[in-house]
Structures are given as C-alpha cells and as structure tokens.
Chain A
Amino acid sequence: MVPNILMGNLTLLSPSVLDDYVTTVELPRLKNEGLSHNATLFRYGACLGSVIRVYPSLERAMDRAREHIRLREESQKSVANGTLILASTLTLSKGRFSRSWHAPPGGLWGCLIFADTLLPQFRNFLPLIPGIACCEALRQNGASDASIRWVNDVLVEGKKLAGFLIEGYCSPVHKEQYHLLGFGINLNNDRFPPELENSAISLAQVLGTEVDMMSFALSFFAKLRYYTGQLFYEEERWLARGGLREYTCEHPVLKRWKALSDTPGQRVIFGYDVMENPQYEAVVSGVSNDCGLVLLHADGTESVEHSGEIRYCS
C-alpha cells in the first residue's frame, strides 16, 4: 500500500511502508526511465531500512546508534544491518570537526547503521551514496538545480541543504566494525542561526511551500537502498570476474555522482578542515576512479586529494 503522501508524520515510517514505496513508486519510475537491473539492485540493498526507529527528540543520532549496538550486543541479540534511527529534532547535533549542526523540528535527521562488510576497494564509494540519493530526491521533489559538492554536500542556490558524515564504530562486545552514516536534510526548517543564515537553505525555502516530509523521506531512503544495492552488486560482479588487486574502472555509483555534481571545473579552496585552515586554491580538473579530487594548480601541476573539504570560490 502506498502511504498517504500528505501525511507528514515520520512515525508512520516503517520497513513495510518503505518496501511498498519501492515496489509501487520507485521501481515503476525507474522502469519508465529505461534503467535495467532495478529490482536486482533493490534486492541487494534491501537491508537498508529493515529496522526503523523514530524518536521525538535525541541529543545525537550517532550516539543513539552506538547505544543501540551496545544494548543489542549486551542482550545477546544481533544488530540488524541497515537500521535507521530518526529523530524529529537533535539537541546536541554536530557536523565534522565538532562544528554545530542546527537540527530543529522540520528536518530529516538521523543515522544509518551499516555493518562494514565492503571490501576496501569499494569503501570509497560509500560516502558518495547519501549525496546521490539526496540530490536525486531533491530534484524529484522540485529542487531541480540541486547538485553535489565533493564529497557529499548537497547544495541548492549555492547554499547547503544537506550534509552527511560517516563515522566508524567498533562494537564493544563482539568488536564488529560499523559505519554510522549521519544525515541532516533541511526540509521544513526555515530558520537558521545567524552564523548559518548565508550558507544554509531548506527545501521549503527553495519551493516556497511546506514539504511533505514522509514523501521526501521515502524517496530518499528508497534511493539510498538502490545505490547501496548497486555497491554490493558491483562488488559481487567484480569478485565473480576474479577480483583483481585494484578496482580501476569507473564505478556506476561514481558515474551517477559525476552526473549530479557541479564540482568538476570549479575553482575551489581546499583544506583538510577548510573552514578553520584553508590550504590552497586550485581548479577541479576531474575526479579519479577511486573518487579522489584531481586539482589543477596555477603552475600547471596536478594533485589528487582523497580526504578534506572544498569550498567554491565565488
């Protein structure tokens, strides 16, 4: 059954609702676009959203995810891969380098628990996926000029609408490795603290009208499921071909990322922590097959960065 898309209440979100949405909305849409293997890719990514917990308020979704893993392990239960933790508001949320992240009611805030089962050759593609899923969901929901800034910031009108970060976590009892994918998407929250006013934007501000959060959440999570499936599927195909030492061809996930990103060709400021310590200015000449940012310097030389951040030069 397709949920009532006018219902903006995320507490109605459940694994079965997400399954229904994939079957009745996403699959037909992809079929219309002429894409193949869709059902297969959704099957490979089916773990995503297999458990969904929605809270009215949390301090940090990442902390709740760690606690969830610990409690499950201590009670001799397994942690469902792909568990989603959502909260209407986060009171102590933060971005990278302990930067503050404003997460009042109206946004889509949460964390995905993802067991680290990917081979090292494929881990670099994981951070691209939330950016792709969010950018596609935004375009589908009216923000037609949404684009991705390397690695996975999603910008509209030059302002940040969504941000993602991935933190590794080693479980305390079984020492299992997890990726905790934190996400923050500004949907109906249209007021930002003074320090973010010029750099942040919400979907409601872009559209000039309130957004159906349930509809957006389903669209975003379905696409996360699809591209996660593509990651697993491509890894399996690569292993079936003999699994050479390196994965050197252009990954379908990277190809899709390139189609949605406006980073190539931009003059940027690069820094490991670009806000606190901008390091240099260069032009992005491309993105390597292992997701590195290829930067062209003023003297004509190139360097490749796999870690760090950029800001576009205005």
Chain B
Amino acid sequence: MSDEIDFDEILGKYHSDPYEYVDIYASHTGVIKFLVEEGSSIDAVSGEWKHIPGTALFEITRENNPKKVTALTNGVVSSICNELEGCFVEAGEKLLTIRHPLKKKEIIESILKEVLHIFPAPERAKYFFSLDVQSRIDKKGAREVSVKPGDEIIIMSLMKRDTPVYYSGEKGVIHSVYFKPGVSVDQGAPLIGICPTEKLPLIKKIITKVKADWDQQE
C-alpha cells in the first residue's frame, strides 16, 4: 500500500464514471440462451434473506437440464456477447457485463479495497470470527484488533463442518469486515480488509476526503 495517494486522480475516476462494470460468466458448460439484451434494466437479488431472485439474465442448458441464472447486482446491461446465443460455452466464458451505478458508500468501499490488504473467502460458505477474535472485537472494536500471519481469525462453516481459517498477509488491524454471520460468502469475495497500524491515518483521510467531495458534488 502506497503512502502517496493521488486523491484527485481517484476521485476524478469515480466522478467521470461512477459505475462498476460487473462481468457475468458461465457458471458451467452448456448451451446459452440470453434472456436480456443490451440496454436492459437489471434488478438485483432482494428480500430480507436475499431470497427474491434478480432479473433472469440467461438460461444455460446442460444434459437437458436448463438453469436460469439471475442477477445479483442492479444496473443496465452494457454489453452482451450475442454471438454466443444458442452456442455451447465452456465454464468461465464471459457472457455479458452489467453497468452498476455506485453509491457513495460503495465508492468508499471500492477505494478501500484498493488500499487495504484484502483477505478473501477460501470457499463459498458462511463465516464468523473465531471466539478469541470475536471477544476482542466485542471489547475494543474491530479497528483495535490486530492480526498477524498464522493467526486463527475466522471459522468457515459449511454443512455443519467448521474449519478454522488462518490469516495470511500483512500484519495490521481489522479495518473493514465484509461478511455478516449467517450470510453466505462466495469463494474469493473479501472477508476482511487489514490495514497496518501506521497507515490508519491515511485511510481515515481517504474516507473523509471522499465523503466531503461527494457531498459537495451532490
């Protein structure tokens, strides 16, 4: 993480293009049938338990087993690979892109993800802090809890199988927590953002600057 951050450059980037471009890929092999077109408005998954599906994006059929894939994020379809309509695709092939409008909070999080050390989820599962880390968070707050490589910080829970997750990365304090107990996290999605103690003032500066700048714009 660099000490020097060009605020004007970062903020300028978000002012000129306040969107996140979310690429959607084929989850497995199969034949594709698109259910949206370029410019279609997309609703995100919703509901108290995220149980109401978002807009159906495409149908992928393998071995006569069609599966509709729905959107997790809202926005507009900014590009779509129409040439793949009716074709057999491999797992991981890019199918379309959703342009998702960013809110102020998302912009801050987005910038922070660029400057913090992000510790990702090893598997799609539910996560909670280990008893020791949770008790320290309860007492002092996450940003007072420091972690170092090798620490057992999180428990991954999947099918009643609880597996300790050991931290690897820079030593620092837990600045951001991206998971909620009881809510599934996808493999590779961020779990926590770690900040070396000496860099905390810089992070605070970023947040203050973005908030002030964005409020001024609004």
Contact = CB atoms under 8 A, between A and B. Distances in A.
Interface in B59-73: 62
Given A297-B51, A303-B49, A306-B125, A272 B163 contact: no
A44 B50 CA distance: 41
A246 interface: yes
Q: Which of A98, A307, A309 has the most CB of B within 10 A?
A: A307
B159 interface: yes
A166 interface: yes
Interface string A104-124: 000000000000000010011
B12 interface: no
Interface stretch (A11-19, A167-175, A189-197): A167-175
B49 A168 contact: no
A96 B162 contact: yes
B163 A168 contact: yes
B158 A307 contact: yes
Interface string B153-167: 000111111111010
Given A151-B159, A307-B158, A302 B182 contact: no
Interface residues of B, number: 28
Nearest to A249: B63
A220 B160 CA distance: 20
B86 interface: no
A280 interface: yes
B159 A127 contact: yes
A272 B51 contact: no
Interface string A256-295: 0000000000000001110001011000000000010001
B159 A301 contact: no
Interface string B124-162: 111000010000000000000000000000001111111
Contact of B160 (A127, A248, A295): A127
Contact of B162 (A167, A170, A306): A167
A301 B54 CA distance: 11
Given A291-B159, A301-B47, A303-B50, 10 more contacts: A123-B158, A124-B158, A168-B163, A169-B164, A245-B28, A245-B91, A272-B181, A272-B182, A301-B51, A309-B160
Q: Which 3 A-B pairs have the closest CB atoms?
A: A168-B163, A272-B182, A303-B51
